[in-house]
Amino acid sequence: MRLVLLLLILIGGVVALPFILLARRRNTSQGTSPAEIVTYLILAVATLVTTNSISALLEIVMPGDGVLIGGADDLALSLSTLIVAGVVAVALWIAMERTTTDLARPARELYLAVVNAVSMTVVAVGIIRLLTWALGVTSFQLSALADIAAFGGAWFLHERFRRPPEELDELRQLAGALLGLALASAGTAGVLFASFYTVLSSGQVIAGDDGLSEVLRTSLALLVVGVPFFWWFWLRGLADRPGSWRTGYALLVSITAWLSAFTALAVLLNRIMQWALDGGGGGSSSISASAAITIVAGLIYWHHRPVLGRERNQSIRIVEYVLSAIGLIAGSGAIVTLASILGDNLFGSGSIIADESRLALGALIVLILSAVTVWRYWLKALRLASDPIEANSAPRRATILILRVGYFLVGAGSLIVVLYVLLRAALDGSASDLSEGLTVAVPLVVVSGLMVWHLAELRTKPATGGAAPSGPIAGPRKLGTVTVVAADPGPLPMMIHGMRFLKRGDGVGVVDQSRADEIVAALAAISTSAAMVTVDTDGFRVIPLS
Amino acid sequence: MPPTTAGSGRSLALVVGVVLVLAVAVAAIVTSLRPSPQLDPATPEGTVQAFFQAVEADDWNGVLSLLSSQLREDCEASELAQFRDDVDRAVISDVDAAGSETIVEVRVTRVVIDDPLNPYSYDDTFHFVLAQEDGRPVVVELPWQFYCEGVR
């Protein structure tokens, strides 16, 4: 036994050795190197594997389960993993800490953020499992307690390792905010679902459980855990810290929430229509679920979208162009579906049953929702095309390019199908299968072709009334090099092409959207071809360079 | 082209496009709500159509009445009613005469639209064997999709 343990420790040491040597070679004056990032990521994996092994061991030794006898395999596996991963983690941590200076260490912060994010997630899930047991939904699982103890310890320990200046602290907050949002929104949707289902479902349950009580209790557990996370990491944390992390978070959540609301609303309207057509029988479960998701996703969008700002900035452009693209694609799909149904009904032969009304109504609902989206975002973007900043913005150009390529490929593929069916019919001398092969392919070719033409028009003739300005978008005149000195450049890199960035070591100078707009306007007003911008707590300064 | 002309041309294209899309949507819905042409029930194809119409209406006794006397003895309506799938589209893809029997092949399409943004469909082929009995075509062999314990 001692020999095996010794061997395992030796293996751990051998695995850790190259990274320790790498860490010791690092000069304290060097910045963050790829090797350092890789080393810290390996350290993160080793730490999490070690913590998981501790959790497994705790589960084995905790009273009440009695697994010690007969659990020799699990015990051996957990012990061997703990020894190897533990040696690697401790040795690497000590080696890396020796090289630590007072300067900011992004790789170290990345490690802390990753370990804290994973640990807090496991702890949150563990608490939910305990709560669902306490509320009588699930049976008791010892692993939940073991996970809370082990990963809670790792979280607590790594919180103590944090020290200023922290450049990547927002990553930890972002993970906590996302976790809290996911849990709280799932809990809210569960409560709403149970309420709607109670109202909509007809008939009294006379035997067994309709499951609503379990849904409510599980939702309560999700809310109890999710709301504090959301409040602490978002409302009291990231929401008050303008910068690229907050913008990125709000951007991601806004798009996801809008897409969820769009999909759920389409399902809801379709279900309501089917429900009405079927005389009100059945379907109350899916109506309740889609209504709950629509409301929750709508609320999430309504809360997060204003974080991106009110004036049309780059973040808002990204959101609106993504939503435009979704609307265009969904609308095209709906038109193709309706046209293919029409083609089937007009040209199809031998039909003895044709009841595609459900599909047609579903496509009509999608078409209406898509039309509203296209009208709200895409037509607005087309109207704004006379603005050179809008016309040359990266989100617009990327959206047009991606849509053009996508529609072109779909159209080309469909054209191959059309030609294949026509040639096969011509060579066989029979036209019996024509309608079958063409009712989908022809509408696809037509719609894709029209969309490619529309998008090509936008690219070749932007509505500027003349040639599109080239170069950076920071003004009508082409700028040379712009160097920005700040703690966080925010959206500036997306607004100034080829911008250089020098990060302030004192953490001062966070650029939010309104500040970025002011900087771009100030840069457009200077006469030199290059400039330096310094951002402070109370404003910014543009220094023209010759 | 002057900007005003270009602008009005674009508006016209938009209006025409919207009208065209609306026309396609309305036509698709109207034609999809229209009943299929009724085939002559004295033909094998008409019998198969009546069979599917009875299935769609959950009229299992009506389905039984389209079977041969032997099948009516072997099958019960409750057994046939185990067929629960919706038939969204049924198309006669082939009709073959084999002696005194006629084989009718039907391609059935079912559409699943739990999510209207992502509907999908799948096809299935049904083989009916029909023969004349009492001066009318009846089903003497059911497709495998319909289960009767007495037959198998």
Smallest Cα distance from B119 to chain A, Å: 8
Nearest CB partner across the interface for B32, out of A286, A345, A365: A345
| A18 has pLDDT over 70 | no
Mean pLDDT over each residue of chain A, to the nearest integer: 81
Using the structure block, give the residue that is written with the tokens 């003739």.
A461
**Residue, of A384 and A29, whose pLDDT is higher:** A384
Residues in contact with B147: Cβ distance below 8 Å, sequence separation at least 6, in sequence order: B79, B82, B83
Instruction: Determine the pLDDT at residue A220.
Output: 92
Mean pLDDT over each residue of chain B, to the nearest integer: 82
Q: Minimum mean pLDDT among A81-90, A193-202, A279-288, A482-491: which range?
A: A279-288
| A227 has pLDDT over 60 | yes
Phi and psi dihedrals of B95, rounded to 5? -130, 120
Instruction: Determine the pLDDT at residue A372.
Output: 93
Output the six-digit token pair for A122. Answer: 């496991």
Give tens-digit pLDDT for A387-438. Answer: 778 888 889 999 999 999 999 999 999 999 999 888 888 887 766 666 677 8
As a whole number of Å, the CA-based R_g of chain A is: 30
Please report how the helices A34-61 and A106-134 are oriented relative to each other, as an axis angle in degrees rounded to 10: 30
Mutate to test the interface with A, among B34, B47, B113 (most CBs of A within 10 A): B113
| A144 has pLDDT over 70 | yes
| A196 has pLDDT over 70 | yes
| A287 has pLDDT over 50 | yes
Instruction: Determine the pLDDT at residue A210.
Output: 58
Instruction: Determine the pLDDT at residue B98.
Output: 82
Residue of B nearest to A464 (CA): B3
Q: Minimum mean pLDDT among A106-110, A318-322, B23-27, B112-116: which range?
A: B112-116
Smallest Cα distance from A363 to chain B, Å: 6
| A446 has pLDDT over 80 | yes
Q: How many CA atoms lie within 13 A of B60 on its CB side?
A: 14
Phi and psi dihedrals of A486, rounded to 5? -160, 175
Instruction: Determine the pLDDT at residue B74.
Output: 84
Give tens-digit pLDDT for A145-164. Answer: 999 999 999 999 988 887 76
What residues of chain A have any CB closer than 8 angstroms to a CB in chain B?
262-263, 266-267, 270, 286, 330, 333, 335, 337-339, 341-342, 344-346, 348-367, 465
Instruction: Determine the pLDDT at residue A401.
Output: 92
Determine what percent of chain A is predicted with pLDDT higher than 90: 31
| A318 has pLDDT over 60 | yes
Using the structure block, give the residue that is written with the tokens 């650029």.
A511
Smallest Cα distance from A336 to chain B, Å: 10
- Among residues A173, A149, A152, the alpha carbon closest in space to that of A233 is found at A173
Distance CA B148, CA A84 (A): 63
Q: Pinpoint the alpha helices (H) of A461-512.
A: 492-495
Rounded average pLDDT over A369-378: 93
Instruction: Determine the pLDDT at residue A10.
Output: 62
Distance CA A95, CA A97 (A): 6
* Local confidence band at A232 (pLDDT 50, 70, 90 cut-offs): very high
Instruction: Determine the pLDDT at residue A250.
Output: 92
Residue of B nearest to A458 (CA): B10
**Residue, of A191 and A277, whose pLDDT is higher:** A191
**Would you call B84 an interface residue with chain A, using a CB distance cutoff of 8 Å?**
no
Instruction: Determine the pLDDT at residue A472.
Output: 45
Smallest Cα distance from A265 to chain B, Å: 10
Instruction: Determine the pLDDT at residue B110.
Output: 82
**Would you call B8 an interface residue with chain A, using a CB distance cutoff of 8 Å?**
no
Contact A353 B52 (CB under 8 A): yes
- Among residues A424, A397, A413, A421, the alpha carbon closest in space to that of A449 is found at A413
- In the stretch 30-59 of chain B, residues with CB closer than 8 A to chain A read 31-34, 36-37, 39, 45, 48-49, 52-53, 56
Instruction: Determine the pLDDT at residue A494.
Output: 72
**Would you call B119 an interface residue with chain A, using a CB distance cutoff of 8 Å?**
yes
Give tens-digit pLDDT for B34-92. Answer: 777 788 888 998 999 999 888 888 888 888 899 998 888 888 888 888 877 778 888 88
Q: Is ipTM strictly over 0.90?
A: no
Mutate to test the interface with A, among B15, B105, B117, B123 (most CBs of A within 10 A): B117
**Would you call B112 an interface residue with chain A, using a CB distance cutoff of 8 Å?**
no
Smallest Cα distance from A267 to chain B, Å: 5
Rounded average pLDDT over A352-358: 78
Q: How, if at all, do strands A482-486 and A530-535 pair? A: parallel
Instruction: Determine the pLDDT at residue B5.
Output: 60
Question: What's the pTM value of the predicted model, to 2 decimals?
Answer: 0.73
Instruction: Report chain A residues whose CB lies below 8 A from the CB of B117.
Output: 262-263, 266, 330, 333, 366
Instruction: Determine the pLDDT at residue A100.
Output: 60
Exposed/middle/buried for residue A545 (C-beta within 10 Å: 0-12, 13-18, 19+): middle
CB pairs under 8 A, 24+ apart, for B73-82? B73/B150, B74/B148, B74/B150, B74/B151, B75/B142, B75/B148, B75/B150, B75/B151, B76/B148, B79/B147, B79/B148, B79/B149, B80/B146, B80/B148, B82/B147
Output the six-digit token pair for B42. Answer: 């004295």
| A447 has pLDDT over 60 | yes
